[in-house]
Structure 1
Amino acid sequence: MFENLTDKLERSFKILKGEGRITEINVAETLKEIRRALIDADVNYKVAKTFTDEVKQKALGQDVLKAVKPGQMMTKIVRDELAELMGGTATDIRLEGTPAVILIAGLQGSGKTTFSGKLASLLKSKKGRQVLLVAGDVYRPAAIDQLKVLGGQIGVEVYTEEGNRNPVEIAENGIKYARQKNYNVVIVDTAGRLAVDEAMMQEITAIKAAVKPSETLFVVDAMTGQDAVNTAREFNERLDFDGVVLTKLDGDTRGGAAISIRSVVNKPLKFISSGEKMDALQVFHPERMADRILGMGDVVSLVERAQEQFDEEEARKLKKKLVKNQFNFNDFISQIQQIKKMGNLKDLASMLPGMGKMLKNVDIPDDVFKQTEAIISSMTPAEREHPEIINARRRERIAKGSGTTMADVNRLMKQFDDTRKMMKAVAGGGMKMPKMPGGMMRR
């Protein structure tokens, strides 16, 4: 995400390269390029203009330390202003009431139903809540079935009323059912339309008045750019929602909606969503997003994702095995499974400073580990436990069983051996972590 904007901002900062100080002349040229970059990224023109005016005010007269170059100082100012523009700090979701009711609104196709499932999964797994999903979309074909499927995937009950075409009644009855069953959070998925219309607004307003939600979230497709911002404004005027959710952010390389939406509707961006997996939902952190836009990575989010997947006790056991050089293919495949749970690999790699630019034209497919997993699956339990017994005849059998070649098996064996040696050195202290198993990236 944001690849084009990141590149253009980086080029704009180069105008100050070699300059001894920030002046009105060189800052004006830099800000002209920054404003152009923001508008090209589909940022609202007024927002872009106000933003660059704020940056100019802070940059002019700024005392630049000898150790800090003007370009670096400008980057810092732009980073801080971007974070402020997008909200400054993360805004948590309110879960008040018994049960707490969360109302989901938005246009058809924005990803409301998928987001409802993702939010239920997040509240259940990370906040320990007992969640009930209410299927209030009575118009879109298969909407109820979709929510049931998602609920089944994450182990969350879905309340439905087959044949009832009154979404207000369904929402009210769903909340009564939640109280009877001791659910403490109710997420009400509502119908969308292909465009903002009066009937839709009246219906969603009636649902809100009836259920009195502690949180009303407006879901919008990031790929629609400025249309997303305009739609959010129209909804907010009628619905007065509490926060915005941007979906399909992985398909938006411009990022204008994420940058503009807070300024236009004066409501916080609370979640960003990408992909179809139920764990592909993140709390929106403006300062971290500003870092990513400027190519600085997002190491904090990367560490948080890793902590969610890696068990401390298992990590201690693994370290003992590494020190004794007992790391085997069972451990290897276990590490791969944990990494896969963390999310899209390219997205993860881009969280490291500088990696986003390096990976811009590199394809890291979702099935990147498929061949490695096939080869390891073709090994016997003894071979996975004791890799040293895998001789040439065994490698030939493994290659046939996995549908790969001897060269593929040999390559994996060498990578595994190199990884084991490096990880042993790391566990013993003093060395950097090795690269991930090779063959993951292809142009």
Structure 2
Amino acid sequence: MFESLSTKLTSAMRTLKGKGSITDVNVASTIKEIRRALMDADVNYKVAKEITDNIKDQALGQKILIAVEPGQLLVKIVHEELTKLMGGEKQEINLKGDPAIVLIAGLQGSGKTTFSGKLAQHIKKSGRQVLLVACDIYRPAAIDQLKVLGEQVGVEVYAEPENKNAVSIASNALEYAKKMGKKVVIVDTAGRLAVDEAMMAEIEEVKKAIRPTETLFVVDSMTGQDAVNTAKTFNDRLNFDGVVLTKLDGDSRGGAALSIRQVVEKPIKFISTGEKMEALDQFYPDRMANRILGMGDVLSLVERAQQAFDEEEAARLNKKIRQNNFTFEDFYTQLQQIKKMGNIKDLMGMVPGMGQAVKDVDISNDSFKPIEAIIQSMTKKEKENPDILNSSRKNRIATGSGTSIQQVNNLLKQFEDMRKMMRMMNKVQDGKMKMPNLGNMFKR
């Protein structure tokens, strides 16, 4: 999402010249470029001006330490100001109460229902019993969509398809939750294509009836400043507790993420980066600042991996790798777990230095489909012993997978290279050989 902003900010800070200190003379043009970059990213004008004024005040007159360039110091200052702008620290969702009640609000198409399913799964992982409630009485497919999502994440959905009173449905669901011992109730409400009085009045009544412990406003980050304006309107009526930014994997410029906290004065609590139920992260302002400045977000990447990978399965695979017995079946399993982590391009953007490298590259999870098709076209024996794949077997696999012989051969070569690397790493770990001096590989 922040590729363009990241590129422009990095470019602006590289131009900072001067030795010993940052002065009015050498910082003026840089600050101007930073402000322009923020404005181009659809950041609210007042917010852009405030943050650049703060950056300038922080930077002027600071002494440059030995071996630290002015541009490096400015990166640190910009990082601190971006972090402060987006809230400073992570804000937890309030799940106190028996049951805790989470009310979901937002415009139609913002991703409320999908987020409700993701949140249900997120909370369920902590061991709490969750109930999803379908209170969108206007959109015909809303109840069915929530039921599908509930089935995916293993959470019960309460619905009254014939009841057209959202307040009644929410109240009845709360009584049902208490009776069934549910610890968290997530209420998905109706959205509209635009803010209107009937919509606001209805959700106000729902909130008054069930008295939620947490009210979250879900906003499509791709709508830019419109998202900020809508959030302000909702907050004036609902006084919500936090914001959820969806579709951060889309082609938005990032202005909503940078402006909404400052304008609405409510924290961003979650960010969503795709349709998969696992593609939900708690919002850390410092980590988002890292990503904006092209520093990656390794901590979020590790957390995604921990959620996606089964510990027992990981131990089993590690044992097979140690025994040089890694097969195509194991490789296929690994692919499925990687896909659970979310959008591949978004994941690569979390690796320091990779954001800029992949910003113009079209990468999607569909890239795995030819590989999966080739593996699925192999027999069990072939998956376990790829060395037996002769020309006739490769032809059969290519035909069965809808790929070419060249694609099959490429996969076999990549797989064998990977296994060679695993064998080398095993020898290194066993102390049977020393790692090569990689520095020599780059000497001319």
Give the TM-score category using the shorter length. over 0.9
**Contact 2:273–2:342 (Cα < 8 Å) also in 1:** no
Q: Which amino acid aligns with 1:316?
A: A
Please tell me whether residue 375 in structure 1 is matched to residue 374 in structure 2.
yes
C-alpha distance in structure 2 between counterparts of 1:401 and 1:419, whole Å = 24
What is the match of residue 240 of structure 1? 239
Alignment of structure 1 residues 274-293 onto 2, 5 Å: 274-293=273-292
Residue 251 of structure 1 aligns to a residue whose secondary structure is: coil
TM-score, normalised to structure 2, is 0.93
**Contact 1:15–1:26 (Cα < 8 Å) also in 2:** no
**Contact 1:319–1:427 (Cα < 8 Å) also in 2:** no
C-alpha distance in structure 1 between counterparts of 2:168 and 2:135, whole Å = 9
**Contact 1:13–1:71 (Cα < 8 Å) also in 2:** yes
C-alpha distance in structure 1 between counterparts of 2:154 and 2:115, whole Å = 15
What is the match of residue 93 of structure 2? 93
Which range is displaced more, 222-231 or 421-430?
421-430
Aligned length: 431
Residue 103 of structure 1 aligns to a residue whose secondary structure is: strand
What is the match of residue 77 of structure 1? 77
C-alpha distance in structure 2 between counterparts of 1:314 and 1:251, whole Å = 32
What is the match of residue 25 of structure 2? 25
Decide whether aligned partners of structure 1 residues 18 and 25 sit closer, same or farther in structure 2, where only a CA change above 3 A counts. Answer: closer
What is the match of residue 263 of structure 1? 262
Decide whether aligned partners of structure 1 residues 222 and 180 sit closer, same or farther in structure 2, where only a CA change above 3 A counts. Answer: same
Decide whether aligned partners of structure 1 residues 311 and 5 sit closer, same or farther in structure 2, where only a CA change above 3 A counts. Answer: same
Decide whether aligned partners of structure 1 residues 131 and 6 sit closer, same or farther in structure 2, where only a CA change above 3 A counts. Answer: same
What is the match of residue 442 of structure 2? none
C-alpha distance in structure 2 between counterparts of 1:431 and 1:275, whole Å = 40
C-alpha distance in structure 2 between counterparts of 1:315 and 1:201, whole Å = 48
The C-alpha deviation readout for 1:338-374, integer Å capped at 9, x for no partner, is 1111111111111111111111111112211111111
What is the match of residue 135 of structure 1? 134
**Contact 1:100–1:213 (Cα < 8 Å) also in 2:** yes
Alignment of structure 1 residues 141-290 onto 2, 5 Å: 141-290=140-289
Aligned residues: percent identity?
66
C-alpha distance in structure 2 between counterparts of 1:319 and 1:107, whole Å = 46
What is the match of residue 440 of structure 1? none
C-alpha distance in structure 1 between counterparts of 2:171 and 2:266, whole Å = 26
The C-alpha deviation readout for 1:179-207, integer Å capped at 9, x for no partner, is 11111110111112222222222221111
The C-alpha deviation readout for 1:183-242, integer Å capped at 9, x for no partner, is 111011111222222222222111111111000001111111111111111111111100
TM-score, normalised to structure 1, is 0.94
The C-alpha deviation readout for 1:68-115, integer Å capped at 9, x for no partner, is 100011011101110111011111111011110000111122111111
Q: Which runs of 5+ in 1 are unaligned?
A: 433-443
| Structure 1 residue 410, shift from structure 2 partner | 1.4
C-alpha distance in structure 1 between counterparts of 2:319 and 2:175, whole Å = 53
C-alpha distance in structure 2 between counterparts of 1:276 and 1:315, whole Å = 25
Q: Which amino acid aligns with 2:147?
A: K
C-alpha distance in structure 2 between counterparts of 1:200 and 1:401, whole Å = 53
C-alpha distance in structure 2 between counterparts of 1:323 and 1:117, whole Å = 38
Please tell me whether residue 123 in structure 1 is matched to residue 123 in structure 2.
yes
Which range is displaced more, 138-147 or 76-85?
138-147
C-alpha distance in structure 2 between counterparts of 1:319 and 1:424, whole Å = 12
The C-alpha deviation readout for 1:293-319, integer Å capped at 9, x for no partner, is 011111111111112223344333333
**Contact 1:104–1:188 (Cα < 8 Å) also in 2:** yes
| Structure 1 residue 17, shift from structure 2 partner | 4.4
**Contact 2:290–2:296 (Cα < 8 Å) also in 1:** yes
Residue 414 of structure 2 aligns to a residue whose secondary structure is: helix
C-alpha distance in structure 1 between counterparts of 2:410 and 2:321, whole Å = 21
The C-alpha deviation readout for 1:232-271, integer Å capped at 9, x for no partner, is 1111111110000111122243100000111111110001
C-alpha distance in structure 1 between counterparts of 2:312 and 2:189, whole Å = 43
C-alpha distance in structure 1 between counterparts of 2:435 and 2:156, whole Å = 48
C-alpha distance in structure 1 between counterparts of 2:304 and 2:402, whole Å = 33
Q: Which amino acid aligns with 1:243?
A: G
| Structure 1 residue 140, shift from structure 2 partner | 2.1
Alignment of structure 1 residues 308-327 onto 2, 5 Å: 308-327=307-326
